[in-house]
Homo-oligomer: A and B are copies of this chain.
Amino acid sequence: MPPKALDYEQLNENVKKVQYAVRGELYLRASELQKEGKKIIFTNVGNPHALGQKPLTFPRQVVALCQAPFLLDDPNVGLIFPADAIAKAKHYLSLTSGGLGAYSDSRGLPGVRKEVAEFIERRDGYPSDPELIFLTDGASKGVMQILNTIIRGAGDGVLVPVPQYPLYSAAISLFGGSLVPYYLEETANWGLDVNNLRQSVAQARSKGITVRAMVIINPGNPTGQCLSEANLREILSFCFHENLVLLGDEVYQQNIYQDERPFISSRKVLLDMGPPISKEVQLVSFHTVSKGYWGECGQRGGYFEMTNIPPKSVEEIYKVASISLSPNVPAQIFMGLMVNPLKPGDISYEQYVRESKGILESLRRRARLMTDGFNSCRNVVCNFTEGAMYSFPQIRLPPRAIEAAKRAGKVPDVFYCLKLLEATGISTVPGSGFGQKEGLFHLRTTILPAEEDMPEIMASFKKFNDEFMEQYEDHRGYSRM
């Protein structure tokens, strides 16, 4: 038989080039082990509810009522739902045209986009236009759509931090563009040095690549750093001079674990800078209901906001969004609830504050526990997780471990992470999945295991690691930073 279109050899080459380590070899092996009955701690993906985080009660009450609007007429509804949840459900149902079962506008419900715009205005101090806000099935879908709009071919480059969240490398491969890496400085707590950006752009140009856009992830994934206002100004100024669209991945804006650098949005800094920069730099910012203290990953809700994008381009983005009709409506309601939360005096306010503070404070403690745990291990150094949901320790693999990995046909950090998984059930992602400097090795783990489990997990990690190092060290020298 001749080859067929869905035979492997015949597939779109861009599809085959895609790599996505967060659900790659390690995850697949962990899933196998789980099937075989081994207890797996899935720290490969920022998926808080999978590790026991409870959903916030109030938004769940509201969305449950929206799913079952017939309950609003039930005389007993007040026995199990508080009055403010009932009122909010009525509010959000009034924003739909036909409830949760009807497609919304392809950009999302106008009423929810208005609430997002009001949130952005309160946050940044500048008005925001709901017509420039598109709701999406999670932030990833929005990132993919914008990259698909920008990338015309292999000559188009996108600046991406290294280490990076592999959504970016995967989407750039899928759309046939070129990833232009810029390195974050591990020794400066994963800081972003604008001189590195200049070098990266110059190198890409020398290869004939037109750099068209730049991605920042703030707070950083997998690196956890929070960008300072001064740093953001440098970045925006760089984008202005180099004529780059800035994609601001700000999905972790609620996840901040230090007080020196609170979250500040790219958009606020851009507008603070005034003309010409504030009028010229094209910015797309992303947010989600999956992170923060919400962690509603499975609902798939997100938005992007466009600044300085011409109306004709916005129309094109709208048109392409229309092909898949509408983002899911329940998650749009979660987004509305997230950006327009309860206020003091509301019946459910105290419970809401107690739950969200509880999650956030625990995450802060876990960030510290994890960093300290890693730094207590032989040949492991780890920057503090200033924000987001991850630790990204450097693992200084002894040469003999690197040789053993080569013999096993594995990248050294994959080798290490597989051994860790088999020994402890801890499912991490090797640093090579995010990019790292040649000869250095890392892994990414979320800080999401339940706080009470954390001491045991870190002890189990330390035991594995220190034995691994003992086994492979030849007491002459290690790979070094």
Question: Is the CB–CB distance between B320 and A300 below 8 Å?
Answer: no
Q: Which residues of A (279-326) have their CB < 8 Å from a CB of B?
A: 280, 282, 284, 294-300, 306, 309-310, 312-313, 316, 319-320, 322-326
Taking the complex as formed, is A238 at the interface, i.e. its CB lies under 8 A from any CB of chain B?
Answer: no
Binary interface profile of A, 412-424, with partner B (CB < 8 Å = 1, else 0)? 0000000000000
- Measured CB to CB, the nearest residue on chain B to A76 is B79
- Measured CB to CB, the nearest residue on chain B to A330 is B330
Q: A5-B156, A6-B149 are in contact. List 14 more A-B contacts (CB 8 A).
A: A6-B306, A18-B320, A47-B103, A49-B101, A50-B98, A57-B70, A76-B79, A79-B80, A137-B324, A140-B325, A170-B320, A171-B323, A300-B328, A330-B330
Question: Is the CB–CB distance between B55 and A99 below 8 Å?
Answer: yes
Taking the complex as formed, is A385 at the interface, i.e. its CB lies under 8 A from any CB of chain B?
Answer: no
Question: Is the CB–CB distance between B49 and A60 below 8 Å?
Answer: no
**Residues of A participating in the B interface, judged by any CB pair closer than 8 Å:** 1-2, 4-8, 10-13, 15-16, 18, 20, 22-24, 31, 45, 47-52, 55, 57, 60-61, 63-65, 67-68, 70-71, 74, 76-77, 79-80, 96-106, 137-138, 140-141, 144, 148-152, 156, 167, 170-171, 174-175, 212-213, 243-245, 280, 282, 284, 294-300, 306, 309-310, 312-313, 316, 319-320, 322-331
Question: Is the CB–CB distance between B282 and A329 below 8 Å?
Answer: no
Question: Is the CB–CB distance between B49 and A323 below 8 Å?
Answer: no
Q: Which residues in B have their C-beta under 8 angstroms from that of A326? A: 297-298, 300
Question: Is the CB–CB distance between B150 and A12 below 8 Å?
Answer: yes
- Supposing A49-B98, A70-B57, A167-B323 touch, asked if A6 and B245 sit within 8 A by C-beta, the answer is yes
Q: Which residues in B have their C-beta under 8 angstroms from that of A106? A: 23
- Measured CB to CB, the nearest residue on chain B to A1 is B280
Q: 9 tightest CB-CB pairs across the interface, nearest first?
A: A298-B329, A49-B98, A64-B68, A49-B101, A5-B212, A50-B98, A23-B322, A300-B328, A50-B102
Question: Is the CB–CB distance between B298 and A18 below 8 Å?
Answer: no
Q: Which residues in B have their C-beta under 8 angstroms from that of A48? A: 101-102
Q: Which residues in B have their C-beta under 8 angstroms from that of A310? A: 6-8
Q: Which residues in B have their C-beta under 8 angstroms from that of A47? A: 98, 102-103
- Measured CB to CB, the nearest residue on chain B to A301 is B328
Question: Is the CB–CB distance between A300 and B137 below 8 Å?
Answer: yes
Question: Is the CB–CB distance between B99 and A213 below 8 Å?
Answer: no
Question: Is the CB–CB distance between B282 and A6 below 8 Å?
Answer: yes
- Supposing A98-B49, A99-B49, A313-B6 touch, asked if A11 and B149 sit within 8 A by C-beta, the answer is yes
Please give the distance in Å from A458's CB to the nearest CB on chain B.
22
7 contacts between A and B (CB under 8 A): A1-B243, A5-B156, A8-B316, A31-B105, A102-B297, A138-B324, A328-B328
- Bound Cα distance A437, B138 (Å): 40
Please give the distance in Å from A100's CB to the nearest CB on chain B.
5
- Measured CB to CB, the nearest residue on chain B to A171 is B323
Question: Is the CB–CB distance between B5 and A322 below 8 Å?
Answer: no
Q: Which residues in B have their C-beta under 8 angstroms from that of A325? A: 23, 45, 138, 140, 297
Q: Which residues in B have their C-beta under 8 angstroms from that of A313? A: 6-8, 11
Q: Which of B11, B51, B140, B213 contacts A323 (CB 8 A)?
A: B140
